[in-house]
Amino acid sequence: MNHNRLPYIVLFATFLLFVSCDKSGKLKNPFQKKKPSVEYAMLPLEDSLPKLSDAYKKTKKREIENFFTNNFANDFENMSFLVAKNGQIIYEKYDGFADKENNVLNSPETPLHIASVTKVLTASAILKLVEAKKITLDQKLTTLFKGFPYPDVTIRTLLNHRSGLKKYNYFCDDKAIWGRDKTLTNKDILNILITKNIPLDYKTDTHFTYNNTNYVLLALIIEKVTGKRYSKAMKEIIFDPLEMKNTFVFDETTPIEKGTPSYKFNYQKYPFDFLDAVYGDKNIYSTPRDLLKFDLARNAPTFLPKKILDEVYKGYSYESKGIKNYGLGIRLREWETGQKLYYHNGWWHGNTASYINLKKENAVIIALSNKFTRKTFQMKRLSVLFGDYPFTLKDTVATE
C-alpha cells in the first residue's frame, strides 16, 4: 500500500460515514441545513415590481401633503405615517414623542403598539401553518386543546370572528373569575374558558361579532403547533425573514420599559394594566417601514397559494345588509361597483393604528400613533389617490 495515500483514504471513508442515501437512492448531505417544516415569509425581489416615475411620486406626495394641510392644518402630532406603491415609499412622516418624559422623538425606527393590526400578522402566521398542512381551516379546537368545551368552534370561525365566544375583557375583570389585580395571560384565558363554564354568546357560525378572544386562541394554536412561544414563532415565520428588525411581541416576559409609552390626548401617560400581557389580538410593536415589508410579502404571489388567498379575501358575514364585512384576519368593504377595500384598524390605550391594503393597486397606507387620535382612522380616504374608491378628501368625518 502507498502510505502517502493513507490520509486521503481515511478522509474519504470518514466522508462516507456521514453521507447516506434516502429511500429514493439519492445521497443525503449531513451538512445541509434541514428544510423548515413551515415555509417562511419571503420578500419579493426588488426589481420584480414596476418602478414609479419621479413625476408620479412628486404628484402623489403633493396630493398627500394637501390632504393633511386641508384637513388637519398643523395638527399632525404623534403620527408615524407612510404611503407606498409597488414597495416604493411615496411619502412618510414621523412626528411627536416616543417618550415625552425623556424628550425622545418618534423616528422611522421607533416601534409603536399596532393594537388590533396585530390580528393581520397573527392570521398570516396561522395561514402559513395551514399551507404547511400543520392545521386546517376547519379543524375544531377540541382537537388541539383538551377539555375545550365548545365543539363547533374551528380555526376558521376564530379568524372570521364567528365563533360565538365571549370577549375575555368582558368576563376576566370579574373577581369571581379572575379580577383586575393580577396579570392575565393567554394560557389563563384558555384555562378560564375550559374550567369556568363560560357560555357562548351565540351559536357558533351564525353571525359576526368582532372579538379579541378569537385571536388570543389563535396565538395559542401557533404555540401548540410550532412548540414555541408566540413571540419566537412570529419572529421565525414572519419578522426575521422579512427583515422586520424593529418589530417584536410584548408578552409577560418582556421588560415593561421595552414598550414605547402611549398617551391620552393631553399627554397623560397610560399605565400598564392587567390585560397588557395578552397577545395575538394585540401586543405587536412595529414601524410603518417594517409593516411595508410585511405588506409587500403578503401581496406577493409566493406568499400563500391562491386556494388559501381566495378564502382570506372574501366576506363571511352577510346576515345584515351593508358594505362592511370581515375575511380571515382582514376587514373589507364591498361596494355594488365590485370595488373592494381591505384594511384593519386598531385601538389600545392611547395607541391607534390603521393598515390599508390597496391590493388591486399594490399600494399601502400605514398610520400609527401613540397619542390618542382618531385621525389614523381617516387615512383610508387617501385610497382615492390610487383607485376608484367612494371616499372624498374633503370631508373630515372619522370613518372607523
Distance of CA 319 to the CA centre of its chain: 27
With bands split at pLDDT 50, 70 and 90, how would you rate the model's confidence at 385? very high
How many CB atoms are located within 10 Å of the residue 77 CB?
A: 16
Q: What is the largest CA-CA distance in the chain?
A: 92
Q: What is the pLDDT of residue 70?
A: 85
- Residue 161 CA to residue 386 CA, distance in Å, equals 30
CB 290 within 8 A of CB 109: no
Counting Cβ atoms within 10 Å, is residue 7 exposed (0-12), middle (13-18) or buried (19+)? Answer: exposed
Q: In this structure, are strands 112-113 and 104-105 parallel, antiparallel, or unpaired? A: unpaired
> Whole-prediction pTM value?
0.89
pLDDT in tens, 170-194: 999 999 999 999 999 999 999 999 9
Taking CA atoms, 250 is separated from 111, 225, 256, 353, in Å, by 11, 20, 9, 16
- Which positions ≥6 away from 222 have C-beta within 8 Å? 122, 125, 126, 129, 230, 233, 234, 280
Q: What is the pLDDT of residue 181?
A: 94
The per-residue b/e assignment along 124-147, b for 16 or more CB within 10 angstroms, e otherwise, is bbbbbbbbeebbebeebbeeebee
Cα–Cα distance, 113 to 70 (Å, whole number): 28
Decide: 330 and 215 in contact? Cβ < 8 Å: no
Q: Under DSSP, is residue 150 helix (H, G, I), strand (E, B) or coil? A: coil
Which cell numbers in the block locate residue 334? 364591498
pLDDT by residue (tens digit) across 38-93? 667 676 666 678 999 999 999 999 999 999 888 887 667 889 999 999 999 999 99
Length of the chain in residues, anyone?
400
For 316-367, the pLDDT digits (tens) are 999 999 999 999 999 999 999 999 999 999 999 999 999 999 999 999 999 9
